[in-house]
Amino acid sequence: MRLSDFKVLSFDCYGTLIDWESGIWAALQPLAVKAGIGREDALARFGHHESAQEAETPQLRYSDLLALVHARLAAEWGVAADIAADRAFGGSVGEWPAFSDSAVALAYLKRFYKLVILSNVDRASFARSNLRLGVTFDAVCTAEDVGTYKPDPANFRYLVARLGELGHPPAELLHVAQSLFHDHAPANAAGLASAWIDRRAAAPGWGATPASEAHYDFRFTSLAELADAHRAEQLG
């Protein structure tokens, strides 16, 4: 299997293109300081509460869901409820930074593939993040569109249907993502090939993503590494 076998790349956004752990940690600072919680512990508890809230309220817009996650964290850490702080955290998504390699790698890949987003986010929040990525995606599929959050199989059925509208069968798609839990496991179940962008390769634990096991067809530690591998195929 070669990267050049595919005609469409679908991307998870947060954790893969956008450095959500740095963004989450920055936005959690007021709460984490009050609670005396360190970065890795905070990210792990965020991952626990975020996935639980997504399962409990799948039709809730992501910015509103994040506000509830913030409230859950405050309650767990014994910090007084603060609705304004909850809402501020929910609205922070557009402030989360892109990984330094994302825009350049996407610009290169755009020359060879159709690019699609499949993200656990609302459209307004993604629009703000997209300004940091520098490309126009051929399709954007959000949890707001689907009415469920990954890893629900419905999100990948929606992706495959959208791909068909673009004229491509599933065999022409490579799903590119960091999270084994949110992306690779359901991509496996949908019969899709996938590339793991292992952004936490040098860090212990799972960070803001629940632990999981899944198959993947390619593994890279950055999007730049994926682009370099494709470039090497072209030269070969």
Q: Give the pLDDT confidence of 69-95 residue by residue, as tens digits.
A: 999 999 999 999 999 999 999 999 999
In three-state secondary structure terms, 116 is: strand
Residue 101 annotated as catalytic: no
State the Cα angle at 171 between 168 and 172, rounded to 5°.
Answer: 50
Q: What is the pLDDT of residue 112?
A: 97
Q: Is the pLDDT of residue 236 over 80?
A: no
Compute the average pLDDT of residues 154-169: 96
The domain 21-95 having CATH identifier 1.10.150.750: the answer here is yes
The domain 3-19+96-235 having CATH identifier 3.90.180.10: the answer here is no
Q: pTM for the complete prediction? A: 0.94
Q: Where are the domains of the chain?
A: 3-19+96-235, 21-95
Q: Which residue, chain included where needed, has tokens 């599933």?
A: 170
Asked if 198 and 220 touch (Cβ cutoff 8 Å), the reply is yes
Catalytic residue among 5, 12, 145, 228: 12
